[in-house]
């Protein structure tokens, strides 16, 4: 057996991969060296029999379908716009719901609200001087039984204006409670149950608008997708 370098040269010579000068040299070596000639014949025989190997016909067609390669129909450019607007509207709508749920804003309406804060339960910022006129308005709105209590009220309120803030709080309590205990049935009920109005941070009209935008965009997306698929078919 020749060395492997010779075998490689013989194989290349067989395939015509040697330069003309190398081929000429190899031909003369094969002619003069029986061992090299035998190796050459072996390689040529092996190649010859490989080339006689029958070619099989493909047992089936290997053509591809769009599903096999995951192809999707080409969509118009407007599709991406509607996709964006759908996503954007959905996110905003979700956010508005979250904001409205998590941060409810309570507003207390009417003079009774002020009475609550200034009614001796430690409503520091509300000065008795401010509470007193409002209380007077409330009291003046009452009916005849209130009129009967007027002297008592006057007596109590006057020193309130002159006294210090602490003493005013102490004095106010009976002022409000006095008529309640006597005759102010309706008024006292309103005092005990302040009117609370819950306001949404984001108006519901906005939410409806966002919902409409989202739905319209979604419908447009579906329509474009369907149209593209039909065109593709």
Partner 1 sequence: MDEIALVQSAQHGDLDSFNTLILHYQDRVFNTALRILGDEDIAQDAAQEAFISAFRSISSFRGGSFKAWLLRTVTNACYDELRRQKRRPTTPLEPDTKDGDEMDSPRWLADPNLTPAEQSEADELEHAIQHCLDTLPTDFRTVVVLADIQGMDYSEVAIAAHVPLGTIKSRLARARLRLRECLRGFEELLPSSFRLEEERTS
CB-facing half-sphere around the CA of 142: CA atoms within 13 A: 24
The dihedrals phi and psi of 196, each to the nearest 5 degrees, come to: -115, 125
Does residue 60 belong to the site contacting partner 1 (CB under 8 A)?
yes
Mask for 70-89, x = binds partner 1 (CB under 8 A): -x------------------
For partner 1, the binding residue among 22, 24, 31, 48 (CB under 8 A) is: 48
Do 108 and 196 contact (CB within 8 A), yes or no?
yes
For partner 1, the binding residue among 28, 31, 35, 45 (CB under 8 A) is: 45
Shortest Å distance, C-beta 62 to partner 1: 5
For partner 1, the binding residue among 3, 49, 124, 197 (CB under 8 A) is: 49
Shortest Å distance, C-beta 74 to partner 1: 8
What is the 3-class SS of 44-105, one letter each residue?
HHHHHHHHCCCCCCCCCCCCCCHHHHCCCCCCCHHHHHHHHHHHHHHHHHHHHHHHHHHCCE
Residues of this chain that interact with partner 1 (CB under 8 A) are 4, 7-8, 10-12, 15, 17, 38, 41-66, 68-69, 71
């Amino acid at each position: 057996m020749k060395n492997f370098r010779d075998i490689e040269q013989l194989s290349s010579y067989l395939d015509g991969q040697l330069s003309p000068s190398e081929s000429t040299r190899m031909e003369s070596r094969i002619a003069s060296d029986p061992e090299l000639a035998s190796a050459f014949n072996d390689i040529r025989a092996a190649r010859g029999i490989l080339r006689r190997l029958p070619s099989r016909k493909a047992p089936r067609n290997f053509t591809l379908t769009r599903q096999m390669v995951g192809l999707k129909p080409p969509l118009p450019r407007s599709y991406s716009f509607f996709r964006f607007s759908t996503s954007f509207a959905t996110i905003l709508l979700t956010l508005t719901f979250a904001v409205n749920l998590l941060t409810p804003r309570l507003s207390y309406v009417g003079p009774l609200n002020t009475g609550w804060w200034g009614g001796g339960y430690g409503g520091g910022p509300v000065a008795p001087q401010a509470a007193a006129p409002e209380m007077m308005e409330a009291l003046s709105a009452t009916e005849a039984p209130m009129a009967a209590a007027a002297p008592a009220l006057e007596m109590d309120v006057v020193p309130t204006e002159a006294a210090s803030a602490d003493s005013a709080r102490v004095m106010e309590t009976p002022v409000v409670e006095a008529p309640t205990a006597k005759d102010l049935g309706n008024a006292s009920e309103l005092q005990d149950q302040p009117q609370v109005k819950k306001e949404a941070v984001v108006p519901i009209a906005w939410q409806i608008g966002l919902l409409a935008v989202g739905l319209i965009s979604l419908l447009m997306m579906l329509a474009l997708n369907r149209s593209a698929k039909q065109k593709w078919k």
